Amino acid sequence: MTDPPVAPARLLWQPATIVAIKTETARVKTFVLTPARPFSFRAGQHVDVRLTAPDGYQAQRSYSIASAPDAAATIALTVERLDDGEVSPFFHDVAIVGDTIELRGPIGGHFVWSVEDDGPTLLLGGGSGVVPLMSMIRHRAARGAAVPMALILSARTWDDVIFRDELAALDARHDGFHGVLALTRAPPQRAGDYGRRVDGAMVREVIARLGEPPAQVFVCGSNAFVNTAADAALEAGITAPTIRTERYGT
Amino acid sequence: MATRGFTGKRRPPDADAPEDISKRLPPGQTLTRDFPVLSAGPTPHLELPRWSFTVKTGPRPVAQWSWEQMNALPQTTLRCDIHCVTKWSKLDTNWQGVSIDDLLAAAGLGTPPTPYILAHTHDGYSTNVPVADLLGGRAMIALRYEGQPIPADHGGPARLLVPHLYFWKSAKWVSGLQFTTRDEPGFWELRGYHIYGDPWREQRFSGD
């Protein structure tokens, strides 16, 4: 665990305007925002979002950035709708293009990746845990980097796979990126995908596609997913200090 | 700046809690009844026979305890609210363990040698806390949560507990305390998080 220290800088709240909304799956939408003061960030970082009611009541939540850091005038937040949530239902049911929210960021100096980092990279995502990993994948693609990268994305069914078409297109380039699906409640749809939960044998097979053991592993999703996937990575011979995790709060 | 169309989901008065819960929530926090898990790497599963805890002054070890020896130190209970920088708060959590006052007394350090400590963990994490925040019964090496061994996901077998600061300061899988002459930033503090982390002053990030 030796990341370069981040220079301390004051993170100020600022308005950001929604300029596009894209439906990803039945429960997931992407919101493209233009912050009043655009900022650079690193793939894997998140922002804090703040909503304010007319009486001054505020709610804050953290959302990972899905877009690549290479298009920094806008940032994309991909948000899963939590039925008993407070902020995600606002995004899904109320927010429209032209609305303004407040955010501050970027936040997080550990779960970050750059094309300048050495060595093959393995990404393990569960459901909406793919969001910060997608920023890394898009960053690699935007920079035309050759560094080998593989993603195992676990989802219930084919229709629950966030960024499915984009991941398939990137996989089809055969440029060193491997996008692999692990569907937990449906049979696999493509050669090379799996119809089961992430396990050690699966991680070992995907590492074989990378060509050499990963220098870095990023695991993101629910706590249950992260525990399962991190244990699978350990079982496949990856050492604990290589593995960075991000667990979604609840 | 009011957000168009946002009214918020305020929690209705709770029959279980006669007092006003909102007064116990620091700014920007949301009440949870779950116990979310957050950590930088895989959950380590530590074996009690090989577990140890060390107090150091600078590089020099001053005292060390095995799991059995730690459990033989005077035990204290602490009922407290906890506040995570990721915005959740949990009320009325119950912990048992060794207060830092008792720990330092057992180490023969009745007078702290320096004003700051770095807490270290078995998975290579660290976090800094002023010694004054650890004394006076305000902090402990927690060994039990809600009457049970602390689950590995929540930092067991032992975690630091400093409930009046954001919960990343309550280092999971704690392996020791190191007295330092200066306030040296730990793992998250080097990565943009606040050097002190008072939830009531909303000190989440550097500069807050």
Looking at the predicted structure, is the pLDDT value of residue B67 above 80? Answer: yes
pLDDT tens track for B133-162: 999 999 999 999 999 999 999 999 999 999
**Other Cβ atoms closer than 10 A to A85:** 18
Are A249 and B88 in contact (CB < 8 Å)? yes
Are the Cβ atoms of B32 and A107 closer than 8 angstroms? no
Residues of B with Cβ-Cβ distance to A63 under 8 angstroms:
none
Q: How many CB pairs under 8 A join A and B?
A: 131
Query: pTM, whole model, 2 decimals?
Result: 0.92
B74 contacts B98 by C-beta, under 8 angstroms: yes
Interchain contact, A52 vs B9, CB within 8 Å: no
Q: Write down the mean pLDDT value for chain B.
A: 94
pLDDT above 80: residue B197 = yes
Three-state DSSP class for A203? helix
pLDDT tens by residue, A188-238: 999 999 999 999 999 999 999 999 999 999 999 999 999 999 999 999 999
Residues 6+ apart with CB under 8 A from B103: B55, B73, B141, B177
Identify the pLDDT of residue A1. Answer: 43
pLDDT over 90 at A9, yes or no: no
Distance CA A181, CA B179 (A): 48
Task: Establish how many alpha carbons lie within 13 A of residue A84's alpha carbon, considering only the half-sphere containing its beta carbon.
Answer: 4
Nearest CB among A11, A51, A110 relative to B191 is that of A110
Chain A CB within 8 Å of residue B42 CB: yes
Class of residue A37 by CB neighbours under 10 A (exposed 0-12, middle 13-18, buried 19+):
exposed
Interchain CB distance below 8 Å, B191 and A100: no
Whether residues B3 and A108 touch (CB distance < 8 A) is answered with: no
Question: Which of A138, A175, A168, A172 is CA-nearest to residue A153?
Answer: A168
